[in-house]
Structure 1
Amino acid sequence: MPVETTTAVETTTGVETTLGVEKRTIDHIPVTERHGRARDLFTIWFGSNIMLLTVATGVVATAVYGMPVWAALIALVVGHAVGGVVMALHAAQGPQMGVPQMLQTRAQFGSYGSLLVVILVIFMYVGFFASNMVLGGQAVSSLFGIDETFAIILIGLVSVVGAIVGYRMIHALTGLMSLVSGVVMVLAFVWMLGVHHLPTGALHTGGATVAGFMGTVSLAALWQIAYAPYVSDYTRYMPRDTGVRPAFWATYAGAVLGSLFPMILGVLVGAALPKADTVSGLQELTHGVGGVVIAVFGIGIACTNAMNLYCGALSTITVGQTIFPKWVPGASARAVVSAVLFAGALVMALAGKDNFLVNFTNFMLLLLCVLVPWTAVNLVDYYALKHGEYDIDSLFERDGGRYGKFNLIAVACYVLGILVQIPFLSTAMYTGPMAEKLGGVDISWIIGLAVICPLYLFLMKRFARFAGHSPVVAEAATEGVA
């Protein structure tokens, strides 16, 4: 008969309400507190993606890369379709294991070996939080005529509240925004194409380049892959019998559809008004309902930023609990960490707001370089080596339990995964020699996946016992033992 597995940091907690502050942080979620359905995963990813930053990413395709609309649309579809697979495969890990995504990384890299990846992911959260604050601040400033810096701070503070309250509130807000933002997005398309129409020449057919096409594909793919380090954070309360396929398809559909259509809006804004910033351009093309569009998409930013801050706090707590294993972090710890991360993101936002699109594009492309080898190692380990069966108690042990302090194979593959991509990178700050030979085409992330997935699988099957990492799959399932 199955019995509940406990961990060193579990505490007793009751059933929480939507507005009640979540008591748990990185501790294991017992079966008695599991709730939700697979379709809830559709709304959280659909609702959280319909926002101004998603639109701004679409603007890059036409305003920065100079792509015609038709080519940009094809590139976006390809990028989201491929990247969405990688992202959604992580979704099933939450119900199965019941712990946050970055804590799971200890099972692949070891308790201390995982710290490098987790710290890099924290920087990613802060970067996205800062980017969202800039756009949200611009929107609020444009709508209400208030100082832009004050508006940026205001958007950030609203997001902090969501991160402090936690999981249930974020799920509820994104569920509501799925409906509201979806309707407003349709309204924006109708106004842009049917009421005002695009300026003459906006739908030109020339100017497509391989470099621009692949750059757009990479941005779309990374948009999805960037969710991989925290997709399980929003499935870890789901019942374990949610199932791999339902979790995958609900997450995939929500993330891909919720990202693709706002980016198409951005493509049209960039093609019609390449000199305008995202907020003013969108407002001009939807004149008459522009205030509603900007307001709703701005609220969407606050919801998504709450997700970024929440997951950044969980990852930061993961680092702290690795160093101080007797620490039992609760809601107050998440609140303090959220405030500190907000302060860091605010500095970044205010420093980079004047050249937002270029800074954001470079950030996204460099981020891809460090995320790809992690996702390759994680997915191969979960699906091909361990088949979803891990010893949860070992994840909370300072020495890593059966997974050790360092898995040298995983760490080496991760570092190698970054190094093999560098020659293929093509950004405004750096273009590798292979990217130059390819005419500026960036295929670094494809190279990273193609090299690290089979390499990690081969090395772990042959040499795991020599890498400080137990090759044995846990006898105990993640929720109990026979």
Structure 2
Amino acid sequence: MSPSLDNELAEPRQPASIELHSIDYVPDTERHGKVTHLGAIWFVSNINLTAMATGVTALSIGAGLVWTLIATILGSLFGTFFMAFHSAQGPQLGLPQLVQSRPQFGYLGAAVTVWVFALINYIAYNTSDALLSGDAFHELFGINTNVGYFIAALIAAVIALFGYHWIHRVNRVLTWPLIALMVTLSVAALKDGRLTAETWALGDFQPAPFMTVFVIVAGFQLGWAPYVSDYSRYLPASVGVRSTFWWTYLPSAVSGLWVFALGSIMYAAAGPDATPVEAFRSAADSLINGFGWVAVFALLLGLLSVMAINQYGGMMSMISIRDSIRPVAPSRRIRVIGIGIMFITVWLIAQFVGIERFNSFYGNVLIFLAYAFTPWTSINLVDYFFVRRGNYSIQEMFNPNGMYGRWGWRGQTAYLGALVIMVPFMVTAPFTGSFAAALGNVDYSMFVGLPVAAVIYLVLCRSLDLTAEREVVAAEGLVHR
């Protein structure tokens, strides 16, 4: 067991203004909060410029507005389903999401296979956030986009540094104002005179762009999975799986499909030459002159919140990777270093991409991450609900030479096997798989990867000595079943 875990079990601490925990276990004495608080964080996390720009990217694929909206609804409902089940793991284990991958992928293997992709996830989303936050500051205040991003990132970094409790509080404060904004923007978008009857025409069904939109939206929602339980891990262990699932699923799915659809509609009205921020502002101004400024500012506030979430998660991914190489104790210093590295890395990438290439960059990010996390989400959930059934040793997860091993060959094999089988079904800008091409350039990779990863992992786990593992878990007494 790591020294940090020993300290947590021996000397429980009360929550401080600046969070002290990072990847370590949250003991029962520090558990608090209500499961309903998850509703605020997962509703608000989708009400921001980047999430709304997902609708812009989706419409640019070329499926037509109505078919884009249908694919958006289905993709949001589908992707959120898996993400919400990950959220249910938080109260039961009291650990960040990615640490829970060690039983499947191994102490070091999780860092190489899962956490590197997760870190790319955080950096990619934060780069998208950086581009839009800089553009929003320029649109609102006329300042340089680089300066705008610096201001946004600094505010988000402060929230991320204070951590879990501040992130929850900020999202609860923003909930009702952003609901009011979404209602008003919906009225503005639907009344926009630039939307003609032709825009709303159903048109021919095109499977290829339809499925690409589905993958993009499902990938966005699935992109929350690597860190969703980070925001439920302080809840009491008595909180059930069902309530955690629904208080994550419904707010996230509803806000997701609402904001994605609204982004598509406003972009359809503004035209293909508009940036996402310009499209949102013009739609709001069409209802009330000057309201566009208020709308973009409110969406920027939502973006600051999600930037904090991404900086917080990226910081914990870096600490997790570092801990897999050499155990580290939780401290404010290491949190500051992690957040600082995130800031510099994202700023450099944002300079290279630029707002002009936002749609292309962001669309590729969403598709790539959907591919990367499809096998992982299947393996992690199958292990939790069907193989080990929630029986995990917290101490062994922090033991580099423990019963979960350094390299979890079962998880690694299932992940790589599923990813390889997914490749022929993938559709990306530079590459289209052979099976996808034969099927009319339709992307079915997610529907292949999910069951394949699950089946491979289940078969390989037949040799696990689960009885011995459960004896260790029972003797430890930290996870109650």
- Normalised by the shorter chain, which TM-score bucket? over 0.9
Structure 1 unaligned segments of length 5 or more: list them. Answer: 1-5
Q: Where do residues 286-305 of structure 1 align in structure 2 (5 Å cutoff)? A: 286-287=284-285, 288=289, 289-305=291-307
Q: Does 1:184 align with 2:181?
A: yes
Q: Does 1:233 align with 2:214?
A: no
Residue 477 of structure 1 deviates from its aligned partner by 6.7
Q: Does 1:96 align with 2:98?
A: no
Give the paired residue count.
Answer: 469
Cα distance in 2, alignment partners of residues 417 and 156 from structure 1? 36
Residue 181 of structure 1 deviates from its aligned partner by 1.1
- Residues 160/304 of structure 1: CA separation in 2 closer, same or farther (3 Å cut): same
Match of 2:6? 8
Q: Does 1:267 align with 2:264?
A: yes
Cα distance in 2, alignment partners of residues 476 and 159 from structure 1? 41
Match of 2:65? 69
Render the CA deviation track for 1:136-164: whole Å, top value 9, x for unaligned: 11111101111112112221221111111
Quick check: 390-399 or 154-163, which moved more? 154-163
- The Cα RMSD (Å) is 2.0
Match of 1:3? none
Quick check: 198-207 or 148-157, which moved more? 198-207
Structure 2 counterpart of 1:398, from 400, 407, 410: 400
- Residues 481/77 of structure 1: CA separation in 2 closer, same or farther (3 Å cut): closer
Structure 2 unaligned segments of length 5 or more: list them. Answer: none
Q: Is the 8 A contact 2:425 2:445 kept in 1?
A: yes
Match of 1:128? 125
Q: Is the 8 A contact 1:13 1:23 kept in 2?
A: no
- Residues 476/385 of structure 1: CA separation in 2 closer, same or farther (3 Å cut): farther
Structure 1 counterpart of 2:39, from 34, 37, 42: 42
Q: Where do residues 447-466 of structure 1 align in structure 2 (5 Å cutoff)? A: 447-461=448-462, 463-464=463-464
Quick check: 196-205 or 311-320, which moved more? 196-205
Residue 195 of structure 1 deviates from its aligned partner by 6.4
Render the CA deviation track for 1:184-222: whole Å, top value 9, x for unaligned: 111111122236563563323325411111111111111
Match of 1:333? 334
AA in 1 matched with 2:82: V
Q: Does 1:479 align with 2:478?
A: yes
Residue 72 of structure 1 deviates from its aligned partner by 1.5
Cα distance in 1, alignment partners of residues 193 and 12 from structure 2? 54
Residue 415 of structure 1 deviates from its aligned partner by 1.1
Q: Does 1:324 align with 2:317?
A: no
Q: Secondary structure of 2:464's partner?
A: helix
AA in 2 matched with 1:434: F
> Structure 2 length as normaliser, TM-score?
0.93
> Structure 1 length as normaliser, TM-score?
0.93
AA in 1 matched with 2:321: V
Q: Is the 8 A contact 2:378 2:454 kept in 1?
A: yes
Q: Where do residues 374-453 of structure 1 align in structure 2 (5 Å cutoff)? A: 374-399=376-401, 401-453=402-454
Residue 244 of structure 1 deviates from its aligned partner by 0.4
Structure 1 counterpart of 2:242, from 222, 245, 254: 245
Cα distance in 2, alignment partners of residues 470 and 147 from structure 1? 61
Cα distance in 2, alignment partners of residues 434 and 360 from structure 1? 25
Q: Is the 8 A contact 1:404 1:470 kept in 2?
A: no
AA in 1 matched with 2:366: M
Q: Secondary structure of 2:202's partner?
A: coil
AA in 2 matched with 1:355: R
Q: Secondary structure of 2:238's partner?
A: helix
Residue 15 of structure 1 deviates from its aligned partner by 2.7
Match of 1:356? 358
AA in 2 matched with 1:181: L
Quick check: 471-480 or 170-179, which moved more? 471-480
Quick check: 421-430 or 65-74, which moved more? 65-74
Match of 2:139? 142
AA in 2 matched with 1:464: L
Match of 1:81? 77
Cα distance in 2, alignment partners of residues 168 and 403 from structure 1? 31
Q: Where do residues 306-325 of structure 1 align in structure 2 (5 Å cutoff)? A: 306-325=308-327
Q: Where do residues 187-226 of structure 1 align in structure 2 (5 Å cutoff)? A: 187-194=184-191, 198-199=195-196, 201-226=198-223
Cα distance in 2, alignment partners of residues 210 and 442 from structure 1? 9
Q: Is the 8 A contact 1:111 1:398 kept in 2?
A: yes
Residue 263 of structure 1 deviates from its aligned partner by 0.6
AA in 1 matched with 2:172: G
Q: Is the 8 A contact 1:390 1:476 kept in 2?
A: no
Q: Secondary structure of 1:49's partner?
A: coil
Q: Is the 8 A contact 2:92 2:479 kept in 1?
A: no
Residue 298 of structure 1 deviates from its aligned partner by 0.8
Cα distance in 2, alignment partners of residues 225 and 110 from structure 1? 22
AA in 2 matched with 1:324: R
Cα distance in 1, alignment partners of residues 455 and 100 from structure 2? 21
Render the CA deviation track for 1:445-475: whole Å, top value 9, x for unaligned: 11100211122112101x336xxx9973332
Q: Secondary structure of 1:7's partner?
A: helix
Quick check: 198-207 or 274-283, which moved more? 198-207
Q: Is the 8 A contact 1:421 1:445 kept in 2?
A: yes
Residue 270 of structure 1 deviates from its aligned partner by 2.7
AA in 2 matched with 1:81: L
- Residues 441/481 of structure 1: CA separation in 2 closer, same or farther (3 Å cut): closer
Q: Is the 8 A contact 1:109 1:406 kept in 2?
A: yes
Match of 1:165? 162
Structure 2 counterpart of 1:109, from 105, 108, 116: 105
Q: Is the 8 A contact 1:196 1:286 kept in 2?
A: no
- Residues 364/9 of structure 1: CA separation in 2 closer, same or farther (3 Å cut): farther
Cα distance in 2, alignment partners of residues 188 and 332 from structure 1? 42
Residue 349 of structure 1 deviates from its aligned partner by 1.3
Q: Does 1:276 align with 2:269?
A: no
Q: Is the 8 A contact 1:97 1:478 kept in 2?
A: no
- Residues 203/478 of structure 1: CA separation in 2 closer, same or farther (3 Å cut): farther
- Residues 103/452 of structure 1: CA separation in 2 closer, same or farther (3 Å cut): same
- Residues 445/195 of structure 1: CA separation in 2 closer, same or farther (3 Å cut): closer
